[in-house]
Structure 1
Amino acid sequence: MSDLSNTQFFQVEPGPQISARDILEIVFKALKEKGYNPVNQIVGYVMSGDPTYITSYNGARSLVMKVERDELVEELLKAYIEHNSWA
């Protein structure tokens, strides 16, 4: 039997990290599959922080809440700049 007077050390290994870009892609596809306008819904979420703008279909809502909204905006802006060859 272990000594219960000593503090036990417990370490959790972090799971694989998913990028903001990948999350946006998953959320976009889930919204589109459910018949929503993905742009409007994502803008609503980013502006308000209200997760109900994002469908729970395919875990999209849980995923989008794992990343800060400013990181989502940063990723969207980077993609826009790259797409328009400004960089």
Structure 2
Amino acid sequence: MHEPTISFSIHEDKENEMKQTLTTVYDALREKGYNPINQIVGYILSEDPTYITTHNNARSLIRRIDRDELLQALVKAYLND
């Protein structure tokens, strides 16, 4: 008897990792009293890391994400909802 093949998607894993990172950054910004949406948008538009707090290593985390990939994932999520 053959077992079904499990498919593996690197793209899906990358999007999940981006979502987890963005959630961590969002939470860190909120904890420090910032408006997380405004700060993240400012970072995406300018690529200026000072929009993101260093609290909970958020600045370092968000800089690991490719902005083009992040924008693609955000547009995809927005249109799929």
| TM bracket (short chain) | 0.7 to 0.9
Counterpart-to-counterpart distance in 2, 1:76 and 1:34: 24
Counterpart-to-counterpart distance in 2, 1:37 and 1:80: 20
Displacement of 1:82 after TM fit? 2.6
Larger radius of gyration: 1
Structure 1's unaligned 5+ residue stretches are: 1-16
Partner letter of residue 39 of structure 2?
Q
Q: Relative to total residues, which structure has the larger helix share, 1 or 2?
A: 2
Count of residue pairs the alignment pairs up = 67
**TM-score, length of structure 2 as denominator length:** 0.74
Counterpart-to-counterpart distance in 2, 1:20 and 1:70: 12
Structure 2's unaligned 5+ residue stretches are: 1-13
Identity %: 54
**TM-score, length of structure 1 as denominator length:** 0.70
Q: CA RMSD in A?
A: 1.6
